[in-house]
Structure 1
Amino acid sequence: MRLNRILALALVVLCLLAALGNWLGGSINQGKRQGLANVALVNVYGLISDEAVGGPFSSSTGTNANQMIEAIKEAREDSGIKAILLRINSPGGTAAASAAIYEELMRTRKETDIKIIASLGDVAASGGYYIASAAHHIVANPSTVTGSIGVIVRTQNVSPLLDKIGVKTSTFQSGQFKDILSPFRDTKPEEQKILQGVVDTSYQQFLEAIVAGRDMPMEKLKPLADGRIFTGEQAKAKNLVDSLGNYYDALKTTAELANIRGEPKVRDVGKSSLFGDSLGPFLSSVLGQGHTSQWLPMPSQTEWTRWHKIPLTLME
């Protein structure tokens, strides 16, 4: 067992050194390429929040809103960029993070001639669709799961379970609403009113964002915005997306809308991980999933923990 651990740690060190060299080389090459690319690729993947889930050893890092905003600004300030291609595969995330990315995209639309195209992957729902709605054109796979336009706040009352195992809780607070959403009691009627008001306000902001981004009348959007999901094909029929296709179809559409002649030159401006996307899976393949999880938190563990700390979300 001790020998296995030493071997595993040695492999981790080697991987870190290799990843560092790869990252430094990639950064230099990216600097050389800057100004040559005419399409900026921005990936929106996983849970959308101000702090991405996962970690350096995980292949599932989520989307950090601040990093996405920096990537969009980088593309906007590059004189060679004619279009931004959003590649979205996300079930949503926090309301604030989704709105922040949307606003940065809309600012790009207003201040520049850069075309924004969204390519929807397996899922682009709720907060994922919020971001997509800022695009000039949305391309979805026929089987993409999208829609889920709405806002949700959830709480639980675990006090009956705690009573059974003999655990008691005490709360000391500065105001009557400081422990709102407490899992140790039922939600009070006045708290329900406050929470519903927050949900309604955030929901209205969501609707207004789609109306502005999609140039879609509110009366046509409202019947579709009850939280239901759509396939890409259904979404196109409802005017929630513009065309059907895969990433390469979206890239072709990008070139057409941005008047790019010849093969578009794409630069990924969303890369932010020091270790890239392959270190986690590589460690799992070398050490085995069971061995890796002894020392490193796996995506399912980190995502589950953070997921349940988010009070106001555009996802379900």
Structure 2
Amino acid sequence: MAKKVGRRTKTLIISLIIISVILILSGWSDGVSFENSVAVVKLEGIITSSGGFMDETMTVSEFSKLFGRAEDSSNVKAIVVEINSPGGSPVASAEIASIIMKSEKPVVAWIADVGASGAYWVATSADKIVSHPLSITCSIGAYIQISDFSRLLEDYNVSQTTIKSGEHKDIGSPFRQMTEDEEAIFQNIVDQINEEFVRVVRERREGADLSEVSDGRPCTGKEALELGLVDSVGSRESAISLAEELAGEEDLNIVEIESEGSFLESLIGSYTDRIARTIGLTIINSINSLPSFQS
């Protein structure tokens, strides 16, 4: 019996060594082929500074790791950032955009199902933007939603006592009605986020017409092209071909670089869910106990 176990262990070790050698020789060990390639880096889910539990997310650190694998490989001649995201934190969106803009290689953003709000912010950092004509994009702007449960608490005879160091320390509390001064404070923050968003778009998309989408509405890829917010509409293959053209190469190998994700995420995440989260969701940024800012 011991001899059989020993033979099985030896066989398993040999098999693992052979597989490891194959992976290393093929370049699969780090997700980047040793052949000249276009790397497709996937940005999926809500953009945030830290990961969530129930929602699919993309953090700055995770994207930096994925993008870095493509950027650091001398065999990757161009990069396509494939976007399927309703947006996210303004800080995280700006940080990811900064990572892309520092690339020394041609970068093409391809907007698939959804590339709205903060995700469009990220797309503007690429050298070119290609969008599927039926994708959901734009949604340029910001907003915040604050719940008020005070009447509900009254109905159930529940009281909430807050001891605070300053008048606005519990601003945004769902246990009381918001004052006009507090609304003005939040409006000022939303306006500042919106102004920066618009400034970034105008700077990176020179000549774009924002008049029709200045109210924060989403639009299709086809409409975005008409407004000068993307460079062309087309398929994933169109984006890859454009990346090859920018790199001065032809018929490059295609390498996929994406987050592995958890089994739970694969069960929860779905095409329908992404579309449902598209309109209005997203630039999310928690400040202490403050409500979430969205764009």
**Into which bin does the TM-score normalised by the smaller protein fall?**
0.7 to 0.9
Q: Is 1:268 aligned with 2:256?
A: yes
Deviations 1:124-180 (A, max 9, x none): 111111111111111111111111100111101111011112221111222222211
Change in Cα spacing, 1:211 to 1:35, as seen in structure 2 (3 Å) is farther
Cα distance in structure 2, aligned partners of 1:33 and 1:75:
7
Cα distance in structure 1, aligned partners of 2:226 and 2:31:
43
Give the aligned residue type for 1:221. Answer: L
Segments of 5+ residues of structure 2 without an aligned counterpart are 1-15
Q: Is 1:168 aligned with 2:159?
A: yes
Cα distance in structure 1, aligned partners of 2:196 and 2:237:
32
Of residues 173, 197, 203 in structure 1, which corresponds to 2:194? 203
Pairwise mapping of residues 229-308 of structure 1 onto structure 2 (< 5 A)? Answer: 229-262=218-251, 264-273=252-261, 275=262, 279-280=263-264, 298=268
Cα distance in structure 1, aligned partners of 2:265 and 2:31:
29
Q: Is 1:313 aligned with 2:289?
A: no
SS at match of 2:142: coil
Higher alpha-carbon Rg:
2
Change in Cα spacing, 1:32 to 1:252, as seen in structure 2 (3 Å) is closer
Number of the residue aligned with 1:16: none
Q: Which has the higher helix share?
A: 1
Deviations 1:168-202 (A, max 9, x none): 11112222222111111122222222211211111
Of residues 83, 101, 126 in structure 2, which corresponds to 1:106? 101
Give the aligned residue type for 2:257. Answer: V
RMSD value, Cα: 3.1
Cα offset for 1:65?
2.0
Pairwise mapping of residues 16-55 of structure 1 onto structure 2 (< 5 A)? Answer: 29-31=28-30, 33-54=32-53
SS at match of 2:79: strand
Between Structure 1 and Structure 2, how many residues are aligned?
Answer: 261
Q: Is 1:151 aligned with 2:142?
A: yes
| Alignment check: 8 A CA contact 2:80 2:240 kept | yes
Cα offset for 1:32?
8.0
Of residues 65, 85, 88 in structure 2, which corresponds to 1:90? 85
Number of the residue aligned with 2:215: 226
Number of the residue aligned with 1:140: 131
Number of the residue aligned with 1:190: 181
Cα distance in structure 2, aligned partners of 1:229 and 1:116:
24
Deviations 1:288-310 (A, max 9, x none): xxxxxxxxxx5699x99x97966
Q: Structure 1-normalised TM-score? A: 0.73
* Identity among equivalent pairs (%): 29
Change in Cα spacing, 1:281 to 1:100, as seen in structure 2 (3 Å) is closer
